[in-house]
Amino acid sequence: MINHVLLFYLYLTRLITTDYIGEIHMADTNFLQQARCLHLTPEKVHDERFQEEGGFFDPKDIVQVKYELVRSCVVEGSNVASACMRFGFSRTTYYKVYEAFIQGGIPSLMGRPRGRPQPIKLNEVVLGYLIAEKAKNPKLSASEMVTHVMNRYNVQISVRMIQHVWQHYSVSKKN
């Protein structure tokens, strides 16, 4: 089943509407994936609560599995090593999950979006400048170019990124 706490959180954060909540079928894998809550290895969860057919607990819901892992240790007093075996996590993961839960609550148990955490610094203008300058002056080094880009666009990029751009656009051969 879909974790009702998760649905409520998503509703509060405006990620879903009440109309969508009515359309969700229990154990909807697509919904869990879109919400970054899909457990990629639910077969590793061996806790008896997650083994009941049609029960409240869903091993595909990573937020619910992580929450129950922490609750099992903190509230029920389960041994961390045995709880980790039942829920399919390492002890290292348990302590990371526990710390995240203490600091951020249930939302911190959700998966994080993949990819860059911030926008790429290399926009079309800077990219064009890098290519044009190297084409005009083939002896220009990437380390010199870092300074030029910083002075002109107030953007700090690495020497390696400049070398990669030049190689990718065939402006410079790899030495």
Instruction: Write the pLDDT tens digit of every residue in 44-85.
Output: 999 998 888 777 788 988 999 999 999 999 999 999 999 999
Q: Does 144 have pLDDT greater than 80?
A: yes
| Range(s) of the domain holding residue 62 | 4-109
Q: Is residue 118 domain-resident?
A: no
Same domain, 91 and 139: no
Share of the chain above pLDDT 90, in %: 40
pLDDT digits (tens, 9 = 90+) for 10-49: 544 444 444 444 444 445 788 787 777 888 899 999 999 8
Tokens of 137: 């002056």
Q: Is residue 173 domain-resident?
A: no
Same domain, 81 and 134: no
Same domain, 83 and 154: no
Of 53-67, 89-103, 143-157, the range with the lowest mean pLDDT is: 53-67
Give the model's pLDDT for residue 174: 55
Same domain, 79 and 154: no
Answer whether 7's CB lies under 8 Å from 38's CB.
Answer: no
Higher-scoring residue by pLDDT: 108, 69: 69
The b-or-e profile of 61-71 (16+ CB within 10 A means b, else e) is: bbbbbbbbbbe
Give the mean pLDDT of 116-130. 78
- Domain edge (last residue) among 109, 139, 156: 109
DSSP one-letter string for 69-135:
HHHHHHTS---HHHHHHHHT--HHHHHHHHHHHHHH-GGGGSPPPPS-SS--S--HHHHHHHHHHHH
Give the mean pLDDT of 123-143. 90
- Domain edge (last residue) among 109, 143, 159: 109
Give the model's pLDDT for residue 173: 63
For residue 38, list its beta bridge partners.
61
Same domain, 80 and 147: no
Same domain, 85 and 144: no
